[in-house]
Amino acid sequence: MLVDNAQEIAPETLAEVRGAFPILGQKIGDHPLVYLDNAATTQKPLAVIDAVTRYYREDNANIHRGVHALSQRATSAYEDARAAVARFIGAPDTRQIVFTRGTTEAVNLVAWSFARPRLKKGDVILLTEMEHHANIVPWQLVAEATGARVVPAPVTDAGEVDMDAFRKLLEREPVALAAFVYISNSLGTVNPVETMLAAARAAGVPTLVDAAQAVSQRPVDVAALDCDFLAFSGHKLFGPTGIGVLYGKQAHLEAMPPYQGGGDMIANVSFAGTTFKGPPERFEAGTPHIAGVVGLGAAVEWFEAQPRERLWAHEDALVRRATEGLAGIDGVRIVGTAREKASVVSFLLADAHPHDIGTFLDAEGIAIRAGHHCCQPLMTRYGITGTARASFSIYNTMEEADRLVTAVRRVARFFS
């Protein structure tokens, strides 16, 4: 947990935060919405909604190309958002921030533009058993193309990376790159990324950190982490869907060939050949998701203005409350009991299918996720096909955590 024995956040502070999210005030049938699917996507504050609307209403134009006022304003908003993201994650230079469609595209970019030219037959791409499919499949594809192998470090019964095994793989295998998640979307495990990164550096292995879940739940400073790459998605940081970020060390980005061609990533084109711009433009071919970038910039600025440490402590308290309540229900099994957890409570209930649990809870206005959470290898590791997953964010309340527990208790009685 981020903060031990944290006091509950002041009601007026939480009310102000919740008031920024218009969707939270609605009802699902006769029940107030309890949104506990934040690991899938977070809701959007009015500041983000207004920024996207304002862009389309007042500044809609393509960027980097026009000399007219709309284009100039749109370009400024786009690059201001890049600067906001760089500041938010501690990137030394805005040129190290590449806008992508999300974490998935960011990982694919690194796989094909950075890793593929370096990989040779027999090389190992080191992952962990808890990775999201987005941090597995791109590596499998590039491994198939190069003759490399994907090797996962095992996960313990509690849902923690086996660090002894992780270190031994770095020592004994020809590891060419290590890619691992900061916070597990399916278990809530907070990985010891500083330790993992240090071990990889000592072995001379470049690294990629999947921070999709982490950026809204922990301070993320790429300079302090000293990772080679870090990726995250805007929609899990209270921003729009379809926009994400890849941070990369400047030397890597400068050496990487383009991932896609066309549009604004070129310096000069002729039929004899083409030259390309430097990063980040080299990796942002075509008309980008300008409104998404503007919305992401607004999300970062809104989030930075909040009492984040207090809200994170509140979020951790919610997870403890829900976990303790659910664990007290006959037939409930908590999946993922790591010492360091954030946001997520995954559980099973006797013979009830996770989808049935989700359907029952939806009838009471409680939104959770049921399934394998794009982590099928991890589910296989535990001998299950999926879980019911409640995931919290800074705007959830203790009353909502209690409503979850009460509703699951009713589901347990129904299936008993």
Which CATH number characterizes residue 63's domain? 3.40.640.10
**Confidence class for position 394, pLDDT limits 50, 70, 90:** very high
Whether residues 289 and 317 share a domain: the answer is no
- The catalytic position among 49, 374, 384, 398 is 374
pLDDT computed for residue 5 by the predictor? 40
Residues 6 or more apart from 116 whose CB is under 8 A from it?
142, 145, 146
Q: In this predicted model, what pLDDT tens digit does every residue of 361-372 receive, in sequence order?
A: 999 999 999 999
Q: Mean per-residue pLDDT for 135-146?
A: 98
Share of the chain above pLDDT 70, in %: 98
Residue 227 is among the residues annotated as catalytic for this protein: no
Whether residues 277 and 389 share a domain: the answer is no
Domain of 354, in residue numbers: 11-32+308-415
Whether residues 15 and 124 share a domain: the answer is no
Res 399 pLDDT > 80? yes
* Count of the separate structural domains present in the chain: 2
CA distance 212 to 226: 17
CA distance 396 to 406: 16
Q: Mean per-residue pLDDT for 55-71?
A: 95
| Residue 344 phi, psi (nearest 5) | -110, 135
Range list of β-strands (E), 36-123? 97-100
Whether residues 237 and 201 share a domain: the answer is yes
Average pLDDT for the chain: 96
Whether residues 286 and 380 share a domain: the answer is no
Res 2 pLDDT > 50? no
Task: Write the DSSP symbol of residue 23.
Answer: G
Last residue of a domain, one of 264, 280, 304: 304
Q: In this predicted model, what pLDDT tens digit does every residue of 151-207 receive, in sequence order?
A: 999 999 999 999 999 999 999 999 999 999 999 999 999 999 999 999 999 999 999
Last residue of a domain, one of 260, 278, 304: 304
C-alpha to C-alpha distances, 21 to 24, 39, 299, nearest whole angstrom: 6, 17, 12
Structure tokens at 185: 């979307």
pLDDT computed for residue 136 by the predictor? 98
Whether residues 132 and 229 share a domain: the answer is yes
Whether residues 184 and 264 share a domain: the answer is yes
Nearest CA to 151 out of 178, 117, 184 is that of: 178
Structure tokens at 242: 């379809």
Whether residues 223 and 143 share a domain: the answer is yes
Whether residues 382 and 357 share a domain: the answer is yes
Whether residues 346 and 221 share a domain: the answer is no
**Confidence class for position 65, pLDDT limits 50, 70, 90:** confident
CA distance 257 to 316: 42
pTM greater than 0.85: yes
Other Cβ atoms less than 10 A from the Cβ of 80: the count is 15
Whether residues 62 and 166 share a domain: the answer is yes
Whether residues 172 and 314 share a domain: the answer is no
Which CATH number characterizes residue 314's domain? 3.90.1150.10
Q: In this predicted model, what pLDDT tens digit does every residue of 102-113 receive, in sequence order?
A: 999 999 999 999
Last residue of a domain, one of 304, 329, 354: 304
Domain membership flag for residue 4:
no
